[in-house]
Amino acid sequence: MKQNFTVRQGALAGVEAFLSVAQHRSFRRAAAALGVTPSAISQAMRALEARVGAALLVRTTRSVGLTEAGQRFLERAAPAFDELVAAGEAARELGQRPTGLLRLSVPRAVVPLILEPVIASFCQAYPEIELEIAASNELVDLAAGGFDAGIRLGQLIAPDMVVVRLTPPFPLVVVGSPDYLRQRKPLERIDDLRGHACLRMRRSNGSIAPWPLVDGVKAVEAIVSGPLIAHDYSTLLGAAIQGIGLAQVPGPLAEAAIAGGRLEALLTPFAVTTPGVFLYHPGRRQVLPKLRAFIEHVKNQSAEARRDGTTLPGVNSQLQIAAGTSGEETALSRDEAYNSV
C-alpha cells in the first residue's frame, strides 16, 4: 500500500523546544540545553501553539506545566522525535564509516573474472558491510533499482556516470572450436561470415546485436545468423566451445579457452577494441564510505598483484586493473562510449 509522506511546511518547527521545556519544566533551562536564548524558546512555543491551535503549556512566574493538550502532544511527539533522532544517527553512520548494505549490479561474466578474486578478502576486511551482487545482463537504472554502483562494459555506460576503470581496453574476438572449423570453409574476410553459423546476443531492449568489426578505419556491423540466441556472453562462449557455431565475445572471457586449444581466435585483423570494464555510479557526492571502501579494496588488491608479479586468483593477465589511472574517477567520454554492441 502506497503511503503518503507529505508533511505540512514547518510542521516540526518548535517540537524540539517544546520537548526540552517539557523535560526541564523551565524555559531558561530548556534554552541552556539547546544552546539558544529563553526568548527564542518563547517564540518557538508561541508559533507551535498557534499552529497546533491549542495551548500546550501553563506558565507561571515560578513554574511551567503541561495542559491536557500539551500532555497528549508530549506522549505522541516524544517517541516520534526520538525516532527522528535515531534515523539521523543511522544515516550519519553510513556517511562516516564503511557499514551497511552494498548492492552492485553486474553482468554474470564479470563475477568469476573480476569479483570472485576479491570477494573473500573484502568481506574479511569490512565485516560491517553486507555485499550483495545482483548478477544480470539487463541494463538497470541504479537509482530506481536501489543499487550503489554497477559494473559494465564501457560502451554500455551512460556518459553522465562517474566511472572507475577496472580493466584495460580489450578486443571483442570471434572464436570457434577446432571441431566446428574443420567442417567449414576458412574465415579470411568479414563477408565469409555469411557461410557460418553465428551465435548471437539479444540486447536488453529486445533487439539482436550485430557483430561490430572494423575494416581498416571503417566500422562494420555484420548482420549474422545462426542456431542460437543468448542473453549473455558466458552462454555464447560455452556454445562456441561445444561447436554449435562461432561467437563474438570479450577477449579476456575467451582467453583461457583459446590458450587451452578449445577455441581459435578468428578474423583478428578485423576485431574492434572496447573501452574495457568499468565500475560506475551516479556521482562523487553520492559515494558513501561503503562504496569508497570497495573501490579502494579492489585497487589495492590489483596493486599488490602487480607488485608480486602475479595476477589475481582466477583472473587472467589481460583483466588486471589498468595501472596508472585505474583508480581515477572520471565521466566516461563520449569517444569511449562505443555504442555498437
* Per-residue confidence band for 328, with pLDDT thresholds at 50, 70 and 90: very low
Q: What is the mean pLDDT of residues 19-39?
A: 90
One domain for residues 208 and 253: yes
Tell me how far apart the alpha carbons of residues 253 and 233 are, in angstroms, rounded to a whole number.
Answer: 8
Q: Which three cell numbers stand for residue 178?
A: 577446432
* 64 and 195 both lie in a single domain: no
222 & 246 share domain: yes
Does residue 64 sit in the same domain as residue 209? no
Picking from 96, 124, 147, the residue at the C-terminal end of a domain is 96
- What confidence score (pLDDT) does residue 113 get? 80
Average pLDDT, the chain: 83
Tally of domains in the chain: 3
Picking from 109, 99, 112, 50, the residue whose alpha carbon sits closest to that of residue 289 is 99
**End-of-domain residue from the set 274, 296, 316:** 274
CB 274 within 8 A of CB 171: yes
| Proportion of the chain above pLDDT 70, given as a percent | 83
pLDDT for position 94: 67
Other C-beta atoms closer than 10 Å to the C-beta of 283 total: 11
What's the Cα-to-Cα distance from 19 to each of 48, 57, 164, 253, rounded to whole Å?
A: 12, 11, 47, 62
Query: Strands 170-176 and 218-222: what pairing?
Result: unpaired
Compute the distance between CA of residue 339 and CA of residue 306 in angstroms, rounded to an integer: 31
- Residue ending a domain, among 225, 249, 274, is 274
CA distances for 272 relative to 51, 171, 176, 249, 276, angstroms: 67, 6, 17, 11, 12
Residue 247 near residue 237 (C-beta atoms within 8 A): yes
Flag whether 131 is in a domain.
yes
Alpha-helix residue ranges (DSSP H) falling in 191-232: none
Residues 141-170: what's their mean pLDDT?
87
Do 290 and 315 fall into the same domain? yes
Domain region containing 89: 15-96
Residue 245 maps to which CATH number?
A: 3.40.190.290
pLDDT at position 11, please?
57
Question: Residue 7 above 80 pLDDT?
Answer: no
Does residue 177 contact residue 262 with C-beta atoms inside 8 Å?
Answer: yes
For residue range 272-286, list pLDDT tens digits in order.
Answer: 999 888 999 987 666
Q: How far is CA 153 from the centre of its chain?
A: 13
Q: Does the pLDDT value for residue 155 go beyond 70?
A: yes
Q: Say yes or no: 143 and 200 in one domain.
A: no
Q: Are 64 and 113 in a shared domain?
A: no
**Confidence category of residue 103, pLDDT binned at 50, 70, 90:** very high
Quick one: 75 and 107 in the same domain?
Answer: no
Residues 120 and 268 in one domain: no
Instruction: Look at residue 177 and tell me if it is in a domain.
Output: yes
CATH of the domain at 291: 3.40.190.10
Above 90 in pLDDT, residue 90?
no
Question: Residue 79: pLDDT above 50?
Answer: yes
